[in-house]
Structure 1
Amino acid sequence: AGPSVFIFWILAFATFLITGGFVTAQLGRMFPEEGSLYVWTHKVLGPFWGFFAGFVAWWPGPVSLVFIGILVANFLQQFATFFTCNGQPCTILTKNWEMGIVVLVVVWFSASMSYLKMQVTQNYVNVQFWAYASVIFLIGLSGVIWLLKGNPSATSFSTGWNPFHGEKLIFGLPANLTFFSFAILALLGIETPLNMGVEVNGGEKAIRTFLFWGSIIVMAAYLWATWGNMVVIQAGGANGTTGGAQTVGLAIGKWAGAAVSLVLAWVVLTVAVVYNYSFGRLLSSSSSSGAAAAIPTRPSTCSTRA
């Protein structure tokens, strides 16, 4: 897509992230309870649609744990490629059963962390956030270092800004438009932290602050990292999953790329922990509000004697 990806990022920010942040802030103010999306839909549309929205929002949670396990394996595989074995890049986790073990470890670890006190897990996530922020900064910085070393930019920023140029899809739609879908997918979940809304210290003011600065950080991070990737690696040449570590490895050195791979593996592992906590609240909220009581059950035949 070339430089036009920045147009799609900004369009996604304006039409989805920012508007979603306003809606989430207002709903969080009106109904500051556990369950966020379930509670909001239940209050407005009733128990059936509340349960439906809650289930649809919860379902990707457990499914994504498997996908997250695969992502962890991918980053570990990339970590190995920064080293040499018999003159060739090292390879690990090449068999399906090895990938399966990684998935099981991710599920086990995330479930185990869910049994700990909330404060312990929160401190763990806070530490991981700063590591993740450092990696994002390093990816963008790689673009600066690449240029300071005298290398030309891998992507020309003088052309390619028209999002409607290039290959066409069915009905004449521009192929670059697919990146807009990717951008929306990457921005999903702004309401997810409010699944635990009752545990937010500071009430309404804290929710507004978290949403405001969280959105600012997300927008800056995506634009900065995208620029760094495009300066070092030609558009379309980077792996969509592991491209960040590849960029750092080329611009700064293999040791830095290997470190970024490990941190990103840790990041997605932590995402699994957060998902277990946050999406579990949808189930507890729906059951405690009486949605579970609506499920038909077999009448009891037991009786008691006075």
Structure 2
Amino acid sequence: MSAEHFKNEVSDFHSFSPDGLALSAFLLSFPPDKAELLNVARRSLLRGIGVRGAGPLSRLARVGLVHVRGARSPRGTCWDLSHLLFLASLTLVAWLFIATPSSCCCSSLSLSLSLSTSSPSPSMKQRNPTTKQTSPMPGHSGASEYTALGGESSPKLEKFQKVSIIPLVFLIFYEVSGGPFGVEDSVKAAGPLLALLGFLIFPLIWSIPEALITAEMGTMFPENGGYVVWVSSALGPYWGFQQGWMKWLSGVIDNALYPVLFLDYLKSAVPDLEGGFPRTVAVLVLTLALTYMNYRGLTIVGWVAILLGVISLLPFVVMGLVAIPDLKPSRWLMVDLDNVNWGLYLNTLFWNLNYWDSISTLTGEVDNPSKTLPRALFYALILVVLGYFFPLLIGTGAIPVERKLWSDGYFSDIAKILGGVWLRSWVQAASALSNTGMFMAEMSSDSFQLLGMAERGMLPEFFAKRSCYGTPLFGILFSASGVIMLSWLSFQEIVAAENFLYCFGMIMEFVAFVKLRVKHPTASRPYRIPVGTVGSILMCIPPTMLLLVVVALAPNKVMGLSLVAVMIGLVLEPCLRYAEKRRWFRFSISANLQDCGPAFHQCNDHP
């Protein structure tokens, strides 16, 4: 029977009893496209209610379970979990209606009838059909299941594994570092001493505070979206969207760098990759191949990251052993303060030691994030610092330092000098694999960020759709398209552009962190940085000053393009809200998310 026919039939029940009234109200508001489920509910309702609703709820529950256990669909397959959830929700919601005072029940019935019989007005929010389940602001424990927008659980998505601590460590490693490939410009810009000191001191000023904030905020809001949710909870969804736009664009720019680095390390062995059509084809093929691997699943990416991490770091261990006879510690002390390119130096340090917060956009995919995320960040921090400092110590101490030679790919030349062609080939292969790992980790972060924003209603609903492997299909496609379009930029331009945008996003993160500490000091935080409110503010001052310095040192071209990108974000959010109001795109809020706090809801009430 049709859904409309069933609704007319059910409407005859609502005067029988409060139970019949409640069940009618619920069924009449059920989406009309679920005709098969409506017929199941109809049979259950008729058998359970009987005449004038005598004992309907217990009977309905029993009949519903019989349907789930024994009934089969017309295709001969057993009822899946969505049928069980539907029947369980039917009974639960009916009880909630009956437990409500009669006046509320009548108003609920009127609302249900109006929703089911009248067309929605233009001002009705498309996100309303999804009821948002909230927990006390701001945190609950982390392992949330995959749930499609609209509250329907997908059995295919529920079977995917969460990311454990070891794959998470290497995903963070590749989000931030991936090995020493790309640090050569620090020696070129400032010499050996400042390069070595930079990779020891800079983590204290920048990496540790950012990692600590990521640990606290990521466990406070254990969901995909990460820093977008943090800023939204403190400053409202408009600024949360700006955060998401700038960080996503920064991540896409960052990802455009890895095919460039990959080819820079291979061009000494394959000269045709220096430029022209072969290089363009190589960038395109590499991007598509790595994008497909991201499409196949985050768990695969995590375990592949472990393998790539070991292979990428191993040749530098061998290089260190080979270089021991040639080490001269006096070379480490070389410095010329009158010949320092501070802009290149700081940009190189900043680029190689940031993005600790990127893993927060995958928190919803992590197993037990309240414990796993802080530990993984700690282990990754040690791995990243050693992965930079040790190769620099070898490269600057084992051969005479000529600063002008220290540019992208120079570690492969050092390997040839120390060990021969075989070691150079190994370092080049390690670089290629390292850039592969960094690309996959960044792509995962960017795409799941878009999924998290869509689940919060900030982006159209199609961004929240997952592939059969549980990965955000449209997020991956959009991120890959951005990488291809930006791959024409040079290494220095990419680094400067992404750093500029990243700085704006990090300032908002610091503001959100401090504001939530001040406004919600007693909120649930599974991991809390062991400092008070004053300590939180003091901890954010040095990295904030560093951000301002990096922004001030940006080239005029990069600054202009970045400001244009920021302005696009300021206009894009109102355009999306207008598209939502005009129903050009569907927007929904996932029912599986926790409460973002009053700032989000007050700013998210659109007329």
Bin for the TM-score computed over the shorter chain: 0.7 to 0.9
Matches within 5 A, 1:225-244: 225-233=391-399, 234-244=401-411
> Does the 8 A contact of 1:229 with 1:243 survive in 2?
no
Aligned residue for 1:191, secondary structure, equals helix
Paired residue for 1:137? Answer: 317
Q: What residue is the counterpart of 2:356 in the other structure?
A: 190
Match for residue 577 of structure 2 among 284, 289, 295: 295
Q: Does 1:112 align with 2:292?
A: yes
Q: How does 1:155-170 map to 2 (within 5 A)?
A: 156-157=331-332, 159-160=333-334, 165-167=336-338
Secondary structure at 2:274 match in 1? coil
Q: State the match for 1:274 in structure 2.
A: 441
Query: Which one-letter code corresponds to 1:219 in the other structure?
Result: V
* Alignment CA distance shift 1:94-1:7 (3 Å): closer
Contact 2:315–2:423 (8 Å) recurs in 1: no
Query: SS at 2:272's partner residue?
Result: coil
Give 1:156's aligned amino acid. Answer: R
> Displacement, 1:211?
0.5
Structure 1 residue 115 displacement after superposition: 1.9
Q: Which sits farther off after the overlay, 178-187 or 204-213?
A: 178-187
Deviation at 1:284, TM superposition (A): 1.1
Instruction: Answer yes or no: is 1:223 the counterpart of 2:398.
Output: no
- Give 1:245's match in structure 2, choosing from 404, 412, 419: 412
CA contact (8 A) 1:72 1:102 kept: no
Matched, 1:15 2:205: yes
SS at match of 1:68: helix
How far apart in 2 are the matches of 1:152 and 1:217?
A: 23
For residues 54-98 of structure 1, give each alpha carbon's deviation from its aligned partner in whole angstroms, at most 9, with x where no partner exists.
111111333334332222211111334xxxxxxxxxx33234111
SS in 1 for 2:413: helix
| Deviation of 1:177 (Å) | 7.2
Post-superposition Cα deviations, 1:24-50, rounded to whole Å, max 9, x if no partner, equal 111112111112111111111110111
> Who is 2:117 aligned against?
none
- The answer for the alignment partner of 1:260 in structure 2 is 427
Whether the aligned pair in 2 keeps the contact of 1:20 and 1:190 (CA below 8 Å) is: yes
Cα deviation digits, residues 132-178 of structure 1 (max 9, x gap): 22134344x1xx53341xx4639623x446xxx5216xxxxx64575
The answer to whether the Cα contact below 8 Å between 1:58 and 1:282 also exists between their aligned partners in 2 is yes
Offset from partner CA, 1:184-235 (integer Å, 9 cap, x none): 2211111112211122123222111101010011111111011011023415
Letter in 1 for 2:279: M
Q: How does 1:31-110 map to 2 (within 5 A)?
A: 31-80=221-270, 91-110=271-290
Distance 1:132 1:204 in 2: 30
**Contact 2:327 2:394 (8 Å CA) reproduced:** no
CA–CA separation in structure 1 for the residues paired with 2:305 and 2:287: 17
Q: How many residues align?
A: 277
Mapped to 2, the partners of 1:236 and 1:67 lie a distance apart of 23
CA distance in 2, matches of 1:23, 1:215: 13
Retained in 2: the 8 A contact 1:111–1:276?
yes
Residue 6 to residue 77, structure 1, CA distance change in 2 (3 Å): same
Q: How does 1:172-211 map to 2 (within 5 A)?
A: 175=341, 178-211=344-377
Q: AA paired with 1:166?
A: L
Contact 2:215–2:377 (8 Å) recurs in 1: yes
Would the alpha carbon gap of residues 51 and 138 (structure 1) be closer, same or farther in structure 2, given more than 3 Å must change? farther
Instruction: Out of 57-66 and 108-117, give the one that drifted further.
Output: 57-66
- The 8 Å contact of residues 272 and 279 in structure 2, kept in 1 or not, is answered as no
Q: RMSD of the TM alignment (CA)? A: 2.4
Go from structure 1 to structure 2 and tell me whether the alpha carbon gap of 1:152 and 1:47 turns closer, same or farther (over 3 Å shift).
Answer: closer
Instruction: Call closer, same or farther: CA 1:135–1:145 in 2, change over 3 Å.
Output: closer
CA distance in 1, matches of 2:343, 2:277: 37
Equivalent residue, structure 2, for 1:214: 380
1:232–1:250: 8 Å Cα contact kept in structure 2?
A: no
Identity %, equivalent residues: 16
Instruction: Note if 1:121 corresponds to 2:301.
Output: yes
Distance 1:33 1:265 in 2: 32
Asked if 1:285 corresponds to 2:452, the answer is yes
Identify the range of structure 1 (52-61 vs 112-121) with the bigger mean alpha-carbon deviation. 112-121
If the length of structure 1 is used for normalisation, what is the TM-score? Answer: 0.82
Q: Relative contact order: is structure 1 or structure 2 higher (C-alpha 8 Å, sep ≥ 6)?
A: 1
Q: Give the letter for the 1:48 counterpart.
A: Y
Provide structure 2 residue ranges, at least 5 long, that are not aligned to the other structure: 1-190, 461-575, 585-607
Distance 1:4 1:37 in 2: 32
